[in-house]
Amino acid sequence: MTRLKYMRFYEDRGLEISKAEGQYVWDPEGNLYLDFHTGHGVAFLGHRNPRVVEAIVSQLENVATATPSFKVKIREELLASLENIIPPHLSHVSLLNSGSEAVELALKIARKATGRRKLVGFSGSFHGRTMGALSVTGSPKYRSSFEPLVGDSIILPYNSVEALDKIDSETAGVIVEIVQGEGGVIPAERDFIKALKERVEEKEAILVVDEVQTGFGRTGMIWAFQHYNIEPDILVAGKAVGGGFPASLTALPEDLASKLEPGDHGSTYGGNPLACAAVKASVEVLLGDNVAGKAEFMGKLLHDRLVSKLRGSRLVRGVRGLGLMLGVDLRVAPGGVIKCVQSRRVLTLKAGSTVVRLLPPYLITEGDVEWGVEAIARCVHEELSLKTPT
């Protein structure tokens, strides 16, 4: 035992992972687990995706460290590959290390470009744990110990068209998740997103779409906003974009980029050559292997199998989500089911206060779907025999 204890901040799942490959992980005894957790959605392209590993290793043998002040070939190559997935109206991209950092940049751009202060987020949302991102995060459990947060930040009810009146000519930016992940796998309603886009445009504020969890093919489209026929003013992505390497990005249009100056933002590791190599390879996998199409297909299969297996269970409120971002909403806290499912060698995670969240890699097979669904169905059944639903 070391003297130093790791400040984990997360619940201990009682499992050591000693090997990880594709959609599977192994414990030190060699037991195989099906990974529907993927490190909060990071390993969407599969653990140790060979193209990503190869790109990082070869970059490591070349240039591993260089700040954006210096030109490196891999950064130029990355931009060329990102052009294939970043919407054409977004002309600039900044590379950072985590979702929260990319959100911070988006919020700063909204303030600086509009000269206004007010920032708007939605109830149930999650945008990260830095003070700015927390200020627009809707869940009190993450915020309450740290208030007061960044001034002039307000939270409006998610999916409420009426509440959008609070977006006014003082508003700098509004940030939204198209499918709330942490909040309980809750897709936005079509009318809400349409009205939000219109209201933000009318008030000349900035719409930031946070695709940290939904982006990079997970919902069956490269970006979840594509399901809703809108375009963000600023796009934020993270998690899957680095194929397992820590990387995030903020993409913005020319008119906003032109209002920013050197020194307005920065990050020592942002856009480092290893991250550039990882993101470039990840984009190649995303497009070359039709990741979004496969996520749509397997997501529908997983959704339909869950619905048919769980139909009639008194413990289950419903199954929802988009593509391979799914949630089984229970009438009880999900901890018991998540633990039971883990004992059946399937890793899932919690969302909201009642949801078992599934964030599998796009590589899952029909056999994996059967394994995962069977484990969940059996555990829901076991939980029902232990608890009376409310």
Ligand X SMILES: Cc1ncc(COP(=O)(O)O)c(C=O)c1O
Which positions touch ligand X (CB under 6 A)? 40, 98-100, 103, 126-128, 177, 181-182, 210, 212-213, 238
Nearer to ligand X, 74 or 105 (CB): 105
Residues 6+ apart with CB under 8 A from 26: 17, 18, 19, 20, 32, 33
Rounded Cα–Cα distance for residues 116 and 114 (Å)? 5
Give the pair of three-digit tokens for residue 376. 């969940």
CB of 231 to ligand X, least distance (A): 18
Q: Which is nearer to ligand X, 40 or 112 (CB)?
A: 40
Amino acid at 313: S
Closest CB to ligand X among residues 103, 110: 103
CB of 211 or CB of 368, closer to ligand X:
211
Please, which residue, 133 or 205, has the CB nearer to ligand X?
133
- Contact (CB, 8 A) for 108 and 136: no
Q: Of 242 and 377, which has the nearer Cβ to ligand X?
A: 242
Q: Least distance to ligand X from the beta carbon of 139, Å?
A: 11
Query: Nearer Cβ to ligand X, position 127 or 320?
Result: 127
Which residues, at least 6 apart from 107, have a Cβ–Cβ distance to it below 8 Å?
Answer: 119, 132, 133, 135, 136, 150, 173, 175, 208
Give the tokens for residue 71.
């030109």
Token pair listed for 366 = 């029909």
Q: Apex CA 106: angle with CA 173 and CA 52, to 5°? A: 145
Cβ proximity to ligand X, 275 vs 369, nearer residue = 275
Find the shortest distance in angstroms from Cβ 128 to ligand X.
3
Partners of 95 in the β-ladder:
249
Please, what is the minimum distance in Å from the beta carbon of residue 141 to ligand X? Answer: 14
For 27, 77, 189, 312, the CA distances from 302, given in Å and listed in that order, are: 25, 36, 22, 17
Q: Which residue is nearest to ligand X (CB)?
A: 99
Which residues, 6+ apart, have CB-to-CB distance to 239 below 8 Å?
A: 40, 41, 42, 44, 99, 212, 213, 215, 216, 248
In the complex with ligand X, the residue whose CB is nearer, 99 or 253, is 99
Q: CB-hemisphere CA count at 13 Å for 282?
A: 33
Contacts of 288 (CB under 8 A, 6+ apart): none
Q: Which is nearer to ligand X, 91 or 130 (CB)?
A: 130
φ, ψ for residue 287, nearest 5 deg: -85, -40
Phi-psi group of 216: left, alpha or beta (phi > 0 → left; psi -120 to 50 → alpha; rest → beta): left
- 111/260 Cα distance (integer angstroms): 11
346: which 2 tokens? Answer: 């399937």
